[in-house]
Structure 1
Amino acid sequence: MRYFLDTEFNGFEGELISLALVPEYGDQDFYVSFPLPADIHPWVAQNVIPNLRFVPPGVDHQLNRLDAARHLEAYLASDPDPLIVADWPDDLAHFCALLVTGPGDMIALDGLRLELLNGVGFSAAANSRVPHNALHDAHALKDFCLNSAI
C-alpha cells in the first residue's frame, strides 16, 4: 500500500519536529511529534509551531526518537510491501533516519520502497487544510495524487 509522507523540521538540515504518514486506504494515520529544539528557526516559529496542535485528539504522540521508531515499526508491521511517497527529498531523508535506532540497528521491516514524486502542480501550502502541519500536508499530498491519478 502507498503511504503519503510529510515532515516538518527546524529549517534547512534542521531537527525533525513532526512526521506523518497517511495510508492510501483506510483512516489509520500515523503522526508523531518530537520535543522542540531549543533554538527554533524564525520561519519555523512563525509558520510551523503554531500549527502543531491541529491534529485530531489521540493522534498526536510527542515521543523521543527511539519510541517514535518503535511506534513506526508497529504501524508498518502488517504491510509486507509499504511504499512511502513524498514530494520533497528531505521528507524521505527524515523518514529514513527515523528507521535507524542505533549503531548498526534499525526497526524490523520486511522491506519498503520509497518514491519521490515530481511535485509539479502540488503545493502543500496552497492545498493543505492546515499548511505546514505534517498530518494535514500528507493528506493534501494523498488527495493530489489520487485526484491526479499519480
Structure 2
Amino acid sequence: MRYFCDTEYDGFGGRLLSLALVPEDEGEEFYVVLDPPHAENEWVQKNVLPYLFMVPEALKEDPMSREDAARALAHYLAHDPEPVICADWPEDLAHFSMLTVVGPGHMVTMPAFSLQMLNLSGFSTAANSAVPHNALHDARSLREHVTNHLA
C-alpha cells in the first residue's frame, strides 16, 4: 500500500522533529514527535514548533527518542509486506529512511519498503494543509491531492 509521508525538521539539513505517514486507504495514521521538540532555526521555531501537537487526540503521544520512534514506525508498518513511502520532497524520504537506522550497522526490523518521489510542480502541501507545517496535516494534504487529482 502507499503511505504519504511528511516530516518537519530543523531547517535545511537539520534534525528530524516529526514524521507522519497517512495510508492511501484512509486507515490508521502514524505520527511521531521526536524528543526534545526544539529547534535552532528561527523560522522553524515560529512556524513549526507551535503546531507539532495540533493532531487528533488519538495520535497525541509524548515525544519519543529516535530509537523508540523507529520501533513505533516498524510496528506500524509490520502488517504491510510491501509498503511504498511517497513524498513530494526528497528530505522527507531521507528522514524516513534515516529514522530506520538505530545505531551503527543496525536498523529496525521492518518489511522491505520502496520510496516514491512525487514530482508535484506547483503544488504545496503546506498551502493546502488544514494545519500548515504540521507533518500529519501536510501528509493528509498530499494524499488528498494525489488520490483526487492524479489518480
TM-score normalised by L of structure 1: 0.95
Does residue 27 in structure 1 map to residue 27 in structure 2?
yes
Match of 2:136 in 1: 135
CA 1:130–1:39: 2 relative to 1, 3 Å: closer
Gaps in structure 1 of 5+ consecutive residues: none
Q: How has the CA–CA distance of structure 1 residues 89 and 3 changed in structure 2, closer, same or farther, with 3 Å as cutoff?
A: same
Q: Where does residue 82 of structure 1 map in the other structure?
A: 83
- 3-state SS in 2 of match to 1:118: coil
Shift of 1:4: 0.1
Residue of structure 1 equivalent to 2:99:
98
Q: Distance in 2 between matches of 1:109 and 1:3?
A: 15
Q: Which amino acid aligns with 1:89?
A: P
> Once the two structures are superposed, what CA deviation does each residue of 1:49-72 show, in whole Å capped at 9, x if it has no partner?
111121011312310000000000
Q: Relative to structure 1, is the Cα distance of residues 26 and 38 closer, same or farther in structure 2, using a 3 angstrom cutoff?
A: closer
State the Cα distance separating 1:123 from its structure 2 match.
0.4
| 2:64 corresponds to | 63
Structure 1 residue 43 corresponds to structure 2 residue 52: no
What CA distance in whole angstroms lies between the structure 2 residues aligned with 1:117 and 1:26? 19
1:58 partner SS: helix
How far, CA to CA, are the matches of 1:101 and 1:47 in structure 2?
A: 29
| Alignment-mate amino acid for residue 77 of structure 1 | A
The question of whether the paired residues in 1 share the 8 Å contact of 2:5 and 2:21 is answered with yes
Shift in Å, 1:42:
0.6
CA contact (8 A) 1:31 1:135 kept: yes
1:100 partner letter: V
d(CA) in 2 for partners of 1:19, 1:36: 14
Paired residue secondary structure (1:79): coil
Aligned counterparts of 1:39 and 1:23: Cα–Cα separation in 2 = 28
Q: Larger deviation: 40-49 or 129-138?
A: 40-49
The share of aligned pairs that are identical, in percent, is: 53
Q: When the two structures are aligned, how many residues end up with a matched partner? A: 150
- The one-letter amino acid of 2:79's match is S
Match of 2:125 in 1: 124
